[in-house]
């Protein structure tokens, strides 16, 4: 187009270096209650919409489908079914930790008994014969829990 | 109803894995100059600019501010739009709304990305919930692999079915000089044999089952610009303007775990709205060509069902019957699609621009149906399976 030919110029790029920008994310009342139940009682809770009766996990204050407020916390089973899953063999740096997770690992959407939406988490197996849509799984909790989604270590394939 | 609006110009850069010879603003400028030349306009003719890319992919925010010179936006109304993967189509929709409002006659839509400047998967993850999803998120490839796992479980689709889509996209890309991937080795080999090679080769690394390298889009540096003009102006600029017949989008959830993986409900809903507005009753028969945002192979099976081109589970049959090939009843992605070039913020806008070229009869070596295209459909995809749809036509909409 209109650019001058600068065929002999050395093309440079500048690295940002090892940057770090810490954030502090508010979890909210509903989410905090969920995490406290995980931490203190090894219990998983959801929340029911008064209108459509869907049970959401993690709990949040508004049903997006109905746009009504939700308040009814409901206990959920620590067992459920694999809704979708994949064995990840492609490594990448997790921007939240700056660390590359070891591969392979299994990432699954688990529909807990009593819930209508899924928790997204890791499974304990990378065996393609066991890791399948529809397989049953059970939550395994960390011994030392801090009020974090990772208080669930992973889900074990039953 | 707004005013009638048409696309009158389109420009794109050659899509490449890395463009170290230009920075983002310079890359944008290439696309803008190409679009202006295509429409035989100057920047003075442009009343307003809409621009978008993926937030923070280049570690730079406020693209509306720092790109103003390259975008030709100095002292003009400029709005930035970012909706994730759908950014390009949403930019197009926003430019369309500007003109349809009657307040602007000629509006420039720009999408761009320099994926070479950061880790794409790492950047994509920052779009997801830091408390509930990022700790375990499997990344961009895995986010699509899970959908494929559901489709295979529900309908018995196979890895060969997925590979059939990849073969179509890569063969089509050979006709498109702007495409990033040109897999010349595929030339002259029968489709069946290519499919066998893709699913059987150990060099074709498994990324996240069932997705191999060949099932995924590349990471691309590129930019695109599309010019929208109002009725009365459009006919003077372009001999055959591509009229916007209808457009719609659907965005649903915040939480990935809420998404219905059985069907792509947002693309289905947005398509339904567009077909209703445009009076389309039999999409497969009435639409002549598609430029669909298919970021991975299995989307080419399932999402064409959700758009309404065939019944659930029939996607693979359409592919194997050649219906979606260049010479088929409904050619899909004559450009080679997203699986052949993916400069993310530009990608969905390129779908719109390529669909416009087909309507205008100016798609060159990738033109379908000898230029006899009345209706072309473009889509965008992003975030939690979000969907944008735009239908373009040769005749003025009624």
d(CA B289, CA B370): 12
Q: What per-residue confidence (pLDDT) applies to B67? A: 94
Cβ–Cβ of B149/A149 closer than 8 Å? no
Which residue has better confidence, A28 or B384? A28
Is the pLDDT reported for residue A2 higher than 70?
no
* Mean of pLDDT values over A12-20: 85
- Chain B residue numbers touching A10 (CB-CB < 8 A): none
d(CA A28, CA A34): 10
Q: Are B250 and B15 in contact (CB under 8 A)?
A: no
**% pLDDT > 70, chain B:** 100
- Chain A residue numbers touching B132 (CB-CB < 8 A): 31, 58, 120, 149
- Nearest-CB residue to B21 (from A11, A89, A122): A11
- B162-195 pLDDT tens trace: 999 999 999 999 999 999 999 999 999 999 999 9
- Nearest-CB residue to B255 (from A2, A11, A117): A117
pLDDT lower than 50: segments of chain B = none
Cβ–Cβ of B135/A56 closer than 8 Å? no
HSE (side-chain half, CA atoms, 13 Å) at B310: 18
Q: Are A104 and A131 in contact (CB under 8 A)?
A: no
Q: Note the ipTM here.
A: 0.92
Q: Which structure tokens are listed for B20?
A: 């170290």
d(CA B111, CA B35): 12
Q: Note if the pTM is more than 0.80.
A: yes
Closest chain B residue by Cα to residue A88: B208
- Nearest-CB residue to B122 (from A1, A13, A92): A92
Q: Are B135 and A150 in contact (CB under 8 A)?
A: yes
Burial profile B368-378: b = 16 or more Cβ within 10 angstroms, e = fewer: bbeeebebbbb
- Chain B residue numbers touching A24 (CB-CB < 8 A): none
Closest chain B residue by Cα to residue A93: B122
Cα three-residue angle A139-A140-A142, rounded to 5 degrees: 135
Identify the weakest region by mean pLDDT among A48-62, A66-80, B56-70, B181-195.
Answer: B56-70
Cβ–Cβ of A57/B206 closer than 8 Å? no
Closest chain A residue by Cα to residue B257: A118
**% pLDDT > 90, chain A:** 82
Closest chain B residue by Cα to residue A105: B138
- A87-115 pLDDT tens trace: 999 988 877 778 888 999 999 999 999 99
Q: Are B257 and A107 in contact (CB under 8 A)?
A: no
d(CA A116, CA B6): 44
Q: What per-residue confidence (pLDDT) applies to A4? A: 65
């Amino acid at each position: 187009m209109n650019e001058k030919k600068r065929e002999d110029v050395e093309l440079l790029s500048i690295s940002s270096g090892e940057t770090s920008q810490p954030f502090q994310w508010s979890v909210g009342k509903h989410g905090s209650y969920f995490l406290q139940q995980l931490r203190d009682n090894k219990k998983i809770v959801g929340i029911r919409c008064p209108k459509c009766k869907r049970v959401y996990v993690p709990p949040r204050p508004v049903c997006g489908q109905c746009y009504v407020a939700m308040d009814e916390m409901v206990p959920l089973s620590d067992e459920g079914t694999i809704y979708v899953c994949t064995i990840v063999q492609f490594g990448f740096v997790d921007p939240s930790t700056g660390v590359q997770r070891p591969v392979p690992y299994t990432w699954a959407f688990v529909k807990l008994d009593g819930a209508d939406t899924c928790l997204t988490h890791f499974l304990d197996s990378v065996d393609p014969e066991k890791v399948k849509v529809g397989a049953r799984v059970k939550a395994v909790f960390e011994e030392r829990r801090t009020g974090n989604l990772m208080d669930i270590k992973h889900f074990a394939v039953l | 109803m707004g005013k009638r609006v048409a696309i009158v110009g389109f420009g794109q850069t050659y899509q490449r894995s890395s463009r170290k010879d230009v920075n983002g603003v310079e890359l944008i400028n290439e696309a803008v100059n190409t679009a202006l030349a295509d429409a035989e306009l100057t920047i003075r003719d442009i009343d307003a600019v809409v621009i978008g890319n993926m937030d923070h992919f280049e570690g730079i925010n406020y693209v509306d501010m720092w790109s103003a010179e390259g975008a030709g936006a100095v002292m003009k109304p400029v709005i930035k739009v970012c909706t994730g993967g759908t950014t390009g189509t949403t930019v197009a929709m926003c430019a369309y709304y500007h003109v349809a409002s009657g307040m602007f006659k000629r509006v420039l839509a720009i999408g761009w990305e320099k994926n070479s400047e950061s880790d794409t998967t790492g950047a994509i993850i920052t779009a997801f919930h830091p408390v509930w999803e990022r700790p375990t998120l499997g990344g961009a490839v895995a986010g699509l692999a899970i959908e494929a796992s559901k489709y295979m479980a529900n309908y018995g689709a196979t890895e060969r079915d997925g590979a059939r889509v990849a073969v179509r996209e890569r063969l089509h890309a050979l006709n498109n000089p702007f495409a990033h991937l040109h897999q010349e080795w595929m030339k002259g080999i029968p489709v069946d044999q290519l499919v066998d090679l893709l699913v059987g080769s150990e060099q074709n690394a498994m990324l996240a089952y069932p997705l191999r390298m060949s099932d995924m889009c590349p990471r691309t540096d590129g930019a695109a610009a599309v010019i929208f003009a109002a009725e009365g102006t459009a006919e003077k600029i372009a001999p055959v303007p591509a009229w916007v017949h209808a457009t719609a989008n659907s965005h649903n959830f915040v939480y990935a775990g809420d998404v219905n993986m059985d069907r792509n409900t947002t693309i289905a809903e947005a398509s339904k709205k567009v077909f209703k507005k445009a009076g389309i009753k039999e999409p497969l028969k009435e639409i002549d060509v598609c430029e669909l945002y298919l970021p991975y192979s299995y989307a080419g099976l399932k999402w064409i069902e959700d758009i309404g081109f065939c019944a659930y589970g029939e996607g693979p049959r359409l592919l194997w019957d050649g219906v979606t090939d260049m010479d088929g009843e409904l050619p899909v992605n004559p450009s080679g699609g997203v699986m052949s070039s993916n400069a993310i913020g530009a990608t969905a806008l390129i779908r719109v621009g390529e669909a416009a070229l087909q309507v205008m009869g100016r798609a060159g070596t990738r033109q379908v149906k000898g230029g006899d295209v009345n209706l072309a459909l473009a889509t965008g995809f992003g975030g939690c399976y979000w969907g944008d749809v735009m239908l373009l036509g040769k005749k003025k909409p009624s």
